[in-house]
Amino acid sequence: MKTTQRLVLWGGILFALAAAAIVPTLMITHVQDQINRRPSRQQIQDAQSQRAVEAKATSSSKNWFTITDFDVRTHLERGEQNQVKGQFTETITAEFPTTDQNHGLERYLPARYDNRSLQISDIKVTDTYGREITTEVSGQGSDVIRIRAGDKNTYVHGKKTYVFHYTVGRAVQSFDDIDEFYWNLLGPNWAVPIQQFYGEVTIDKELIGSINRSRLACYFGEHGKANRCGQFGWRDEQTLSVAQQNLRPFQGVTVAVAFTKGTVGSAQLPAKDAAGLYAQMAAGILAIFLALPLMYALMAIRKRRWRKNETRQIVREFIPPKESVWLGAHVARLNGQKNKVITAQILDLTVRGYLVVKEVTPAGEHKILGVTRKTGPVYAVEIVRDLSELTAEELAVVKAVFNSTSLGARYTPSKAKRDTNLGSRIAKLNQQDTEPVATKHGYFAPDALMARLHNWSIWFILIMWFMAIGSLVLAYMVSGWSTEFTSAVTNTFFSVAVGAIIVAIIMSIVFYSVVSRSRLTDKGVALTRYMYGLRSYMQLAEAERIRFLQSPENAQRVGSVNTEDPATIVKLYERLLPYAALFGMEKGWMQQLAKWYETTGESPVWSSGIVYNAAFISSMNQFMTTDMASGISGSVSTYSSSSSGGSSGGGFSGGGAGGGGGGGW
């Protein structure tokens, strides 16, 4: 035991010291990467900016007015470091009420996209004659810039025009195969209606030859909508224009203009830093080779102590375990995507009869700008049985999703994305530590040695943080002295502080991941193996699953299950539907269920008052595979842009950079 203890402790320390040599390299390399970065076509996120803009825009109670005209003019030209910069002029005419409600117009402008600064500068607000208006600009250097135009001591009434001017240093983004101006000319977070919108994008002569004219797109509507703009095209050889009328609050307009790959160049790290970068890289590579044996030793100890080898001895299972989906997922460490666990638990309670799916709005048609569009039915999940027999963790999931455990309470996934209270409840549920519950039920065993080692590690980390803070304070105290001696002392103490902070951070991660996790008991190993065995069975092809049930070794286990009876197969597959959602195979599983429903002519036991037909199966497939999951995750998720840029046809309103929103103040 003492040997193991020393190995874990000193291995973690040595690993942290080796990592301390790597971190400076990673920091410098990260800076270079942020300058040169070419984002892949995988969910380019503008999450922080969009959420902050939306939260701020909707928080105002002074948005009872109308923007009668919103005119945006953009000029794209070659900028510094081979980038493409944009000169933006937004002329906004607002019709304010006659009451003393507003001091002026408030504008929220996202300053980052794909975690990169857009380099917004030269912000000013004028009237139509070019005279500057009293303006307060805040948030520069953060994710969102707030621009307030107007005087806090004066109210405005009637029509008032504001002209916003600003420059964007990085207006064109680089994707895998193209460079692209993917921009929200009108951000989807304006909290007021806009009667007339007009936008122009003028491309400088130096850049016009790089335009890919076959890849142009324009979208409008709420964030995420892919409605195509009706009036979008070339006004002349260098200018694209778009017009849109009668936009409701939180509707935007986004354009995508593709450029030839290479239009946007790479900014280089200053030459004076190159030598230091190469030296740090060499030290980092050496540290990696020194750390690899220690990492291997730590992982070997972890595997042995947490009995991972035993959990790999899998026997296929086809009946759900007696434990709840929630508990099984957490004990078997299948809770990486926590919102899937919640969706699976809700489906489990549904197929067990505690909840039922009901159609609250039938399919229909509606018109958008004169075009008739079909809409699918809207479903809700309702509590229909007393829940007193459920486990504590099952009740916690129901409480988080429904905000109630009473009969008749409903959860409508299509409305969930706008329910911020649901988002906070789900986030709180996901943050709960389930290991104490699993330990109480005998799935994890507290380890006295690991507990002591964990306590020692806490003291060690606290000492390192104390050294770091103390070094920073001392360095600050002597930094004002001008002698060579005190300068050396300052540099030394600062180096110690940085090193101590790095070691403390790495030690925190090492001991959290290696020491703090509980060890599986025999009961925990059995449940983990069962969950993996169930997943292994469900991953089989349909014909192989049936043959597995018919095999001689499973005859006794199947018992009264008749594999020749379609109704029996339906019941078995229904019980496994929640686990299909947990394992990420719900779409294929629902398609198999649909075939068996058609064979038997039965309707799902978890639906009520719905006529069974092919259309129902299709809509339920959408409900189970998409609406349930997106309703839960969407309430706590962030906005993301198109995964393939906007000009290729995969874009949507609000998916580009910039835009933002605003309202009155």
Q: How do residues 347-406 score in pLDDT, each as one tens digit?
A: 899 989 999 888 888 777 665 555 666 666 778 889 999 999 998 889 999 998 898 999
* pLDDT of res. 141: 74
Helix axes 448-478, 484-514, angle to 10 degrees: 160
The total of structural domains in the chain comes to 3
* Length of the chain measured in residues: 665
Place of tokens 């638990």: 345
The CA distances from residue 452 to 448, 457, 511, in Å, are 6, 9, 12
CA triple 73-77-78, angle to 5 deg: 160
Predicted pLDDT of residue 103? 93
- Comparing CA positions, the residue from 342, 293, 296, 301 lying closest to residue 517 is 301
Asked whether residue 292 is assigned to any structural domain, the reply reads: no
Chain centroid offset of residue 8 CA: 35
Q: Are residues 134 and 248 in the same domain?
A: yes
- Cα 461 to Cα 300: distance, rounded to the nearest angstrom: 24
Does pLDDT of 66 surpass 90?
yes
**Distance (Å, whole) CA 647 – CA 656:** 11
Is the same domain home to 327 and 259?
no
Residues 541 and 558 in one domain: yes
Determine the 3-state secondary structure of 297 from DSSP. helix
Residue 152 vs residue 429, higher pLDDT:
152
Tell whether the model's pLDDT for residue 458 goes beyond 70: no
Last-in-domain residue among 500, 518, 536: 518
Q: Answer yes or no: do 501 and 596 share one domain.
A: no
Decide if 34 is inside a domain. no
**Together in a domain, 349 and 463:** no
Which range of 14-28, 91-105, 414-428, 600-614 scores highest in mean pLDDT? It is 91-105
Q: Which of 348, 310, 305 is nearest to 527 (CA)?
A: 310
* Amino acid of residue 385: R
Is the model's pLDDT at 163 over the cut of 70?
Answer: yes
Over residues 473-494, the mean pLDDT reads 48
Distances (CA, A) of 246 to 57, 66, 194, 250, 426: 19, 11, 6, 12, 36
From residue 250, alpha-carbon distances to 54, 148, 370, 595, 649 in Å are 9, 19, 21, 42, 22
3-state SS class at 613: coil
Torsion of CA 413, 417, 420, 421, to 10 degrees: 10
Would residue 295 count as lying in a domain?
no
| CATH number of the domain encompassing residue 206 | 2.60.40
Mean pLDDT of 595-617: 67
> Above 90 in pLDDT, residue 456?
no
Q: What is the rounded average pLDDT for all residues in the chain? A: 73
Helices 338-351 and 420-431, axial angle in degrees (round to 10): 100
Euclidean distance between CA atoms 394 and 560, whole angstroms: 29
Q: What is the largest CA-CA distance in the chain?
A: 92
Do 558 and 502 fall within a single domain? Answer: no
Quote the percentage of the chain above a pLDDT of 90: 23
Residue 542 CA to its chain's centroid (Å): 34
Top pLDDT among 420 and 653 is at 653
Q: In what order do the strands lie in the sheet with 607-608?
A: 410-411, 378-383, 355-361, 607-608
Read off the tokens for 48.
């922080």
Range of lowest pLDDT (61-65, 184-188, 447-451, 547-551) = 447-451
Contact yes or no for 86/118 (Cβ under 8 A): no
How confident is the model at residue 421, as a pLDDT? 73
Q: Tell me if 141 is assigned to some domain.
A: yes
Q: Which of 467, 491, 518 is the last residue of a domain?
A: 518
Q: In the predicted model, is pLDDT for residue 499 greater than 70?
A: no
pTM over cut 0.75: no
Domain check: are 120 and 196 in the same one? yes
CA gap 621, 607 in Å, rounded: 13
Same domain, 259 and 195: yes
Same domain? For 613 and 627 the reply is yes
- Shared-domain flag, residues 253 and 354: no
User: Is 568 part of any domain?
Assistant: yes
| Per-residue confidence (pLDDT) for residue 603, from 0 to 100 | 74
Per-residue pLDDT, 476: 54
Is 374 inside any structural domain? yes
Low-confidence winner among 159-168, 177-186, 240-249 (lowest mean pLDDT): 177-186
**Where are the alpha helices (H) located in 252-411, listed in sequence order?**
274-305, 308-311, 325-331, 338-351, 392-402
pLDDT(647) > 80: no
Output the CA angle 542-546-552, nearest 5 degrees.
Answer: 150
Domain that holds residue 502: 446-518
Write the single-letter amino acid at 589.
Answer: W
- Whether 381 is in a domain gets the answer yes
In a domain? residue 2: no
Does 173 lie in the same domain as 96? yes
Confidence tier at 635 by pLDDT (50, 70, 90): very low
Q: How far is CA 236 from CA 58, 186, 222, 318, 506, in A?
A: 38, 22, 29, 66, 58
Encoded tokens for 618: 């299709």
Looking at residue 70, its pLDDT comes to: 96
Q: What is the pLDDT of residue 623?
A: 52
Q: Give pLDDT, residue 96.
A: 94
Last residue of a domain, one of 518, 537, 554: 518
35-49, 149-163, 620-634: which has the highest mean pLDDT? 149-163
pLDDT of residue 200: 95
Q: What are the pLDDT digits (tens) for 286-318?
A: 545 545 555 555 555 555 555 555 556 678 888
Per-residue pLDDT at 97: 92
pLDDT band at 521; cut points 50, 70, 90: confident
Same domain, 513 and 622: no
CA 393 to CA 415: how far, in whole Å? Answer: 25
Give the tens place of pLDDT for each residue, 524-550.
888 888 999 999 989 998 888 888 887
* Top mean-pLDDT range of 83-92, 337-346, 411-420, 459-468: 83-92
> What is the rounded distance in angstroms from the CA atom of residue 146 to the CA atom of residue 660?
10
